[in-house]
């Protein structure tokens, strides 16, 4: 069974916002065995939307549309749906009641005419109730193709998809089995991995596909299998992965069906009863933020000192001034002293410290742009390593985060 | 002049990665007056790619393609281009030399066969040299349509676009003028703004379009004007914006042609000679990270104490235990004491502090899930405010960041 995703909005085409809805939808559909044939983003223009509807209907069983359901003039999805389905808008009193409630609770203003229009939906649609907003979802069918129209606000769209769209798709369609497994590696280039596994890759059966997904030192290898029996497919993929182990060896860092690396580290810390703290200079709080964005982080994350200004490394982390002047602020002795300092200050057991120069200018250090030192201190080991990541600020942050997490994983998991 | 963007890769369709290339390309094309008609993401499948090529060629003057140029088997863009252009791959010795150099410098391994194939390009293409990677860009023409094929790695793609693709488009095509201006507002809903500006909006001339872009408390209003004379269009848009001021008033927080809000704050701090520090509990370093991600942050950002564990609020920020036990850890007195504590510890002039409960569980506080307190202390004022943001962790972080930046802007700019 195939689906198309259509996202509507000029703001996507001019690059003012990144379309994150499609990735969420692609992932959600894929998980239940719906193959996404293509994603298409079109403008807030009736003919462009109609053209996308027609093309999709001729090709797929399901079309998921997001965007263009807001209360303002540029939102034309409902009118276009009516034209396409030869339908008209009808007043839904229960939607109106819900809109009035939302306004009473959150907006603290009376409902205006524009929001009143959000209680108008195509007369033949099945309403998908949206408890979190004023734009309802809609489920409509034309010949053999189902059209689902959802609000573009990611948060509201996601709730509708998880709560209503996915269950309804499962009821309506008979779905094939689709199984993915992703291996994460660190430290080998894409082509080097490809060479190591040439034979293995050539022997893959036709219904199993391999993809390489490189990202700054990390390469993910994804196998996708399609068939009728999910259990059999999973077994098949597991066997194939077992054969990969000896080929890639210690460069394997985990599987995507497992937790992401921050959570792997978090779980290992909880298991060992260790609390984590970070002492950050060049990463400026981004490492702490990675951990604290996950629910439950307080079980293993204590806190962080972001000593961005050089003097704060002394003032907040107790790094001796002489160490800084002797070795420079971007140096292994300073990184180690920062890690030990944050352990002392917070009472944590494990610390990761970063100091470096991401560019574009040299800052307080003599180090070349792109030089980064990462230190890790645990009850078992202490280490500091120097890296040269290159000249690009944004990339240097991501590379430092990837490397710090990878080192931390090696020393804790 | 119209363009299509085509991004190639199964990983996009199954939602394993978010396609950020399209937004970058949309923005870059839009800026020079190229109208993006649609964005299409298709799978690593020859027929899907060929179909996208044919459809695009019939509709637009320019097709920008990213992805599928890697060294591995799932990368088939070059072969598909050859089929579409009735061309064949040819060995480019200068590309080979460059690949060998990259391997010597960064991979520290000999070039393998897979990478050797990256020196093969269609014989009729104009090569777009990629200094940062092993996959070159290609510029090809079929009848009146130009096809540009670029690597999918965002960093490499961006450099090729800025350095080579955009200048070449400007040389090749005669471009219309396209001018955008975006007003940022905070604190009014989309429909309330729409009601306030109904008359103004109805009077917009046909060649000027308005879009509403809502995001958790912020609404951006974007005007786009198209014509022949960029200077005249800019003047027209400026006059229209002037008429908006009295209608929206103090809810206007800036313009997108200006700097983003972190930079507005940064510039104001530099101007006043104030240094900033953050004391973060619920935001866990994300505020510090927002500031330090920008080059030049060291001119106004000193550092941060992330006191995630309750005890660290006392230990690192000197918040009295009695204040915490009397008022609870999520309270205005605690937030104020955190802000003052970080000023004392870092010697900064301005502090923002956050303490709250993002959910999903209650944690150390009595406060309802979604309760957040933000405190700001400057040499001129001190304030603490309590907010109820709702039950959703991810959303609560973004709302808190938006609100903290907005308060900081109000008190510094």
Query: CB distance from A10 to chain B under 8 Å?
Result: yes
Query: CB distance from A182 to chain B under 8 Å?
Result: yes
Are B278 and B242 within one domain? no
B positions 332-361 inside 8 Å of A (CB): 345-347, 359-361
CA-CA-CA-CA torsion sign (A119, A124, A130, A131): positive
Query: How many angstroms separate the CA atoms of A14 and A172, rounded?
Result: 36
CB-CB neighbors (< 8 A) of B391 in chain A: none
Long-range interactions of B239-245: CB distance < 8 A, separation 24+: B240/B200, B240/B204, B240/B208, B241/B181, B241/B183, B243/B200, B244/B183, B244/B197, B244/B200
Q: Are A363 and A340 in contact (CB under 8 A)?
A: no
Of B255, B286, B307, the domain-final residue: B255
Query: How many angstroms separate the CA atoms of B220 and B226, rounded?
Result: 20
Q: Are A407 and A374 in contact (CB under 8 A)?
A: yes
pLDDT at A92: 95
Mean pLDDT of B134-159: 95
Mean pLDDT of B128-144: 94
Note if the bond before A79 is cis, omega within 30 degrees. Answer: no
Query: How many angstroms separate the CA atoms of B128 and B163, rounded?
Result: 10
Contact B222 A115 (CB under 8 A): no
Query: CB distance from B224 to chain A under 8 Å?
Result: yes
Q: What is the CATH number of the domain that holds B348?
A: 3.90.950.20
Q: Are A11 and B27 in contact (CB under 8 A)?
A: no
Q: A249: which DSSP letter?
A: G
Q: What is the CATH number of the domain that holds B90?
A: 3.40.980.10
pLDDT at A211: 83
Are B404 and B314 within one domain? yes
Percent over 70 (pLDDT), chain B: 98
Percent over 70 (pLDDT), chain A: 98
Q: Are strands B2-8 and B126-128 parallel, antiparallel or unpaired?
A: unpaired
What does the mean pLDDT of chain A come to? Answer: 92
Instruction: Report whether pLDDT(A257) > 70.
Output: no
Give how far Cα B234 sits from Cα of B221, B258, B325, Å: 16, 15, 57
- What tens digit of pLDDT does each residue of B313-356 get? 999 999 999 999 999 999 999 999 999 999 999 999 999 999 99
Are A332 and A242 within one domain? no
CB-CB neighbors (< 8 A) of A286 in chain B: 285, 289, 292-293
Closest alpha carbon within chain A to B297: A308
φ/ψ bin of B127: left (φ > 0), alpha (ψ from -120 to 50), beta (otherwise): beta
Query: How many angstroms separate the CA atoms of A45 and A48, rounded?
Result: 5
For chain A, how long is the longest CA-to-CA vector?
79
Query: How many angstroms separate the CA atoms of B54 and B194, rounded?
Result: 41
Q: To the nearest whole angstrom, how far is the Cα of A106 from the nearest Cα of chain B?
A: 10
Cross-strand bridge partners of residue B375: B353, B384
CB-CB neighbors (< 8 A) of A8 in chain B: none
Are A38 and A100 within one domain? yes
Are A69 and A164 within one domain? yes
Q: Given pLDDT bands bounded at 50, 70 and 90, which one contains residue A112? A: confident
ipTM of the complex: 0.78
Query: CB distance from B305 to chain A under 8 Å?
Result: yes
Of B172, B195, B226, the domain-final residue: B172
Top-confidence residue, B105 or B118? B118
Query: How many angstroms separate the CA atoms of B287 and B306, rounded?
Result: 10
CB-CB neighbors (< 8 A) of A25 in chain B: 15
Are B96 and B158 within one domain? yes
Q: How many CA within 13 A on the CB side of residue A143? A: 10
CA-CA-CA-CA torsion sign (A203, A209, A215, A220): negative
Q: A210: which DSSP letter?
A: E
Query: CB distance from B314 to chain A under 8 Å?
Result: no
pLDDT at B257: 54
Instruction: Report whether pLDDT(A35) > 60.
Output: yes
Are A6 and A129 within one domain? yes
Instruction: Report whether pLDDT(B259) > 70.
Output: no
* Count of domains for chain A: 3
Are B147 and B229 within one domain? no
Are B98 and B243 within one domain? no
Residue whose C-alpha is closest to residue B33's, from B4, B63, B55, B1? B1
B positions 68-127 inside 8 Å of A (CB): 70-74, 107, 109, 112-115
Contact B308 A286 (CB under 8 A): no
Of B199, B234, B255, the domain-final residue: B255
Are A244 and A323 within one domain? no
The alpha-carbon radius of gyration of chain B (Å, integer) is 26
Are B84 and B13 within one domain? yes
Instruction: Report whether pLDDT(A130) > 80.
Output: yes
Cross-strand bridge partners of residue B127: B138
Using alpha carbons only, what angle is made at residue A306 by residues A217 and B335, rounded to the nearest 5 degrees?
130
Query: How many angstroms separate the CA atoms of A21 and A160, rounded?
Result: 12
Instruction: Report whether pLDDT(A398) > 80.
Output: yes
Q: Which of A57-61, A303-307, B179-183 has the lowest mean pLDDT?
A: B179-183
Are B303 and B228 within one domain? no
Structure tokens at A247: 């080929």
Structure tokens at B224: 């786009």
Q: Which residues contact A8 (CB under 8 A, 6 or more apart)?
A: A41, A42, A43, A44, A49, A65, A66, A67, A68, A77, A152
Instruction: Report whether pLDDT(A362) > 90.
Output: no
pLDDT at B336: 98
Using alpha carbons only, what angle is made at residue B403 by residues B400 and B404, rounded to the nearest 5 degrees?
80
Contact A28 B15 (CB under 8 A): yes
Give the structural domain span for B349.
261-412
Contact A316 B302 (CB under 8 A): no
Q: Given pLDDT bands bounded at 50, 70 and 90, which one contains residue A360? A: confident
Q: Are A252 and A264 in contact (CB under 8 A)?
A: no
Instruction: Report whether pLDDT(A20) > 90.
Output: yes
Query: How many angstroms separate the CA atoms of A268 and A142, rounded?
Result: 51
Q: What is the CATH number of the domain that holds B231?
A: 3.30.70.2860
Mean pLDDT of B279-289: 97
- Spell out the alpha helix ranges (H) of B40-184: 46-59, 77-85, 93-102, 113-116, 154-160, 166-172
Q: To the nearest whole angstrom, how far is the Cα of B40 from the nearest Cα of chain A?
A: 4
CB-CB neighbors (< 8 A) of B397 in chain A: 293
Q: Given pLDDT bands bounded at 50, 70 and 90, which one contains residue B179? A: confident
Contact A70 B345 (CB under 8 A): no
Q: Are A145 and A57 in contact (CB under 8 A)?
A: yes
Query: CB distance from A154 to chain B under 8 Å?
Result: no
- Per 3-state DSSP, chain A is made up of helix, strand and coil in percentages (nearest 5) of 45, 25, 30
- What tens digit of pLDDT does each residue of A181-212 get? 888 898 888 888 999 999 999 999 999 988 88
Instruction: Report whether pLDDT(A385) > 70.
Output: yes
pLDDT at B118: 93
């Amino acid at each position: 069974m195939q689906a198309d995703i259509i996202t509507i909005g000029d703001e996507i085409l001019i690059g003012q916002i990144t379309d994150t809805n499609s990735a969420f939808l692609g992932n959600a559909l894929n998980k239940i065995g719906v193959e996404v044939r293509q994603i298409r983003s079109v403008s807030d223009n009736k003919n462009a939307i109609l053209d996308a509807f027609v093309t999709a209907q001729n090709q797929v069983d399901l079309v998921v549309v997001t965007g263009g359901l807001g209360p303002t003039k540029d939102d034309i999805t409902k009118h276009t749906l009516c034209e396409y389905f030869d339908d008209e808008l009808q007043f839904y009193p229960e939607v109106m009641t819900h809109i009035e409630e939302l306004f009473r609770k959150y907006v603290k203003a009376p409902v205006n005419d524009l929001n009143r229009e959000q209680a108008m939906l195509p007369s033949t649609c099945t309403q998908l109730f949206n408890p979190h907003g004023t734009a309802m979802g809609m489920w409509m069918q034309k010949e053999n193709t189902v059209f689902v129209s959802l609000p573009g606000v990611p948060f509201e769209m996601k709730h509708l998809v998880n709560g209503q769209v996915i269950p309804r798709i499962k009821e309506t369609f008979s779905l094939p089995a689709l199984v993915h497994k992703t291996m994460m590696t660190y430290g080998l280039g894409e082509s080097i991995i490809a060479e190591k596994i040439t034979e293995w890759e050539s022997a893959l059966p036709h219904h199993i596909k391999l993809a390489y997904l490189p990202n700054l030192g990390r390469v993910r290898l994804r196998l996708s299998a399609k068939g009728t029996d999910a259990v059999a497919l999973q077994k098949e993929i597991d066997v194939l992965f077992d054969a990969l182990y000896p080929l890639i060896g210690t460069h394997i860092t985990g599987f995507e069906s497992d937790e992401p690396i921050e959570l792997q580290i978090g779980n290992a810390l909880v298991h060992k009863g260790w609390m984590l703290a970070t002492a950050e200079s060049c990463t400026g709080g981004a490492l702490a933020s990675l951990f604290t964005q996950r629910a439950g982080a307080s079980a293993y994350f204590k806190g962080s000192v972001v000593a961005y200004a050089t003097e704060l490394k002394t003032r907040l982390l107790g790094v001796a001034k002489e160490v800084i002047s002797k070795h420079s602020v971007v140096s292994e002795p300073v990184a180690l002293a920062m890690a030990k300092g944050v352990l002392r200050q917070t009472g944590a057991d494990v610390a990761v410290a970063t100091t470096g120069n991401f560019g574009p200018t040299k800052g307080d250090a003599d180090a070349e742009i792109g030089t980064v030192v990462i230190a890790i201190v645990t009850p078992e080991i202490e280490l500091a390593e120097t890296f040269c990541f290159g000249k690009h600020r944004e990339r240097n942050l991501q590379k430092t985060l990837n490397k710090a997490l990878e080192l931390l994983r090696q020393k804790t998991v």
